[in-house]
Amino acid sequence: MADNNINDFARSMGIATSGLRAQAGRMRVISENIANADSTAQTPGGDPYRRKVPTFSSALDRTLDAQVVTLGRIRPDPSAFRVKHDPGNPAADASGDVKYPNINSMVEMTDMRDAQRSYEANLNIISATRRMIQRTLDILKA
């Protein structure tokens, strides 16, 4: 029975750890989007930074015999760029329009908060599992 508990604890920690990694990757992508929200193209009339959208996938971890989450493909957001008329900008095209990234900072901040909460939930699972392991060891010592 103790072996099953140990395996359950290890599985729980492994699944939560995979969630931590995936959410940390998601936060990196969101941070990159926020950092580039007001960037423009390097050349006049060129395309600016395009928002990136993280995806998740699940995979079987044979060591844990459990499904874990991984950061999947990071795909470009196909939505249109924001366009502003600013003829004095070095990135302006022939008609004086400048393309800005297709990033809405409010959406990015909301996504960041969601990723942060998911990260914290996984961290809480790891902490709770560690406490259960410690209690189990204390009981076995007694």
Section 41-62 average pLDDT = 94
**Do residues 98 and 92 make contact, with C-beta atoms less than 8 angstroms apart?**
yes
Give the percent of the chain with pLDDT over 90: 85
The whole-number pLDDT of residue 135 equals 92
Q: The pTM is what? A: 0.87
Segment 16-42 mean pLDDT: 97
The more confidently predicted of residues 114 and 2 is 114
Two tokens at 48? 């600016």
Q: What are 91-133's pLDDT values in tens digits? A: 999 999 999 999 999 999 999 999 999 999 999 999 999 999 8
Q: For residue 22, how many other CB atoms are within 10 A of its CB?
A: 24
Q: What is the pLDDT of residues 65-98, one digit of tens each?
A: 899 999 999 999 999 999 999 999 999 999 999 9
CA distance 28 to 72: 13
Residue 6 has pLDDT above 80, yes or no: no
Helices (H), the chain: 2-35, 105-141
Residue 83 — φ and ψ, nearest 5°? Answer: -125, 130
Please give the pLDDT value at position 4.
67
Place 31 in a pLDDT band, splitting at 50, 70 and 90.
very high
pLDDT at 3: 62
Please, what sign has the CA dihedral across residues 78, 25, 106, 124? positive
Question: Residue 125 contacts by C-beta under 8 Å, 6 or more apart in sequence?
Answer: 12, 15, 16, 19
Q: Would you call 11 exposed, middle or buried from its count of C-beta atoms within 10 A (0-12, 13-18, 19+)? A: middle
